[in-house]
């Protein structure tokens, strides 16, 4: 089973910031702060970010690609 299939099965097509922080073993606030910086990490992960209204989600396919890439 691929990383993408596992993420889609567990979270669905979109991961919330809380879901992503749980997956990466980080606190939601720590992840939020990291994503606001200009680091290489932030640039890559912000590319997977999608806003729906005021909520922030991350596409499972993009997250799987970033995990497999590292």
What domains are there in the chain, each with its CATH number? 3-69 (1.10.10)
What is the pLDDT confidence band of residue 70, given thresholds at 50, 70 and 90? confident
pLDDT digits (tens, 9 = 90+) for 11-55: 999 999 999 999 999 999 999 999 999 999 999 999 999 999 999
pLDDT the model gives residue 61:
95
Contact 7, 59 (CB under 8 A): no
Helix ranges (DSSP H) in 15-59:
17-23, 28-36, 40-46
User: DSSP assignment, residue 37?
Assistant: S
- C-alpha 40/C-alpha 16 separation (Å) is 21
What is the pLDDT confidence band of residue 3, given thresholds at 50, 70 and 90? very high
26 Cβ contact list (under 8 Å, min separation 6): 34
Contact 49, 38 (CB under 8 A): no
């Amino acid at each position: 089973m691929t990383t993408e299939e596992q993420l889609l099965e567990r979270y669905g097509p979109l991961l919330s910031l809380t879901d992503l922080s749980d997956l990466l073993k980080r606190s939601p606030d720590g992840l939020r702060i990291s994503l606001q910086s200009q680091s290489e990490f932030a640039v890559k992960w912000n590319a997977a970010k999608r806003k729906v209204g005021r909520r922030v989600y991350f596409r499972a396919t993009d997250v799987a690609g970033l995990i497999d890439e590292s």
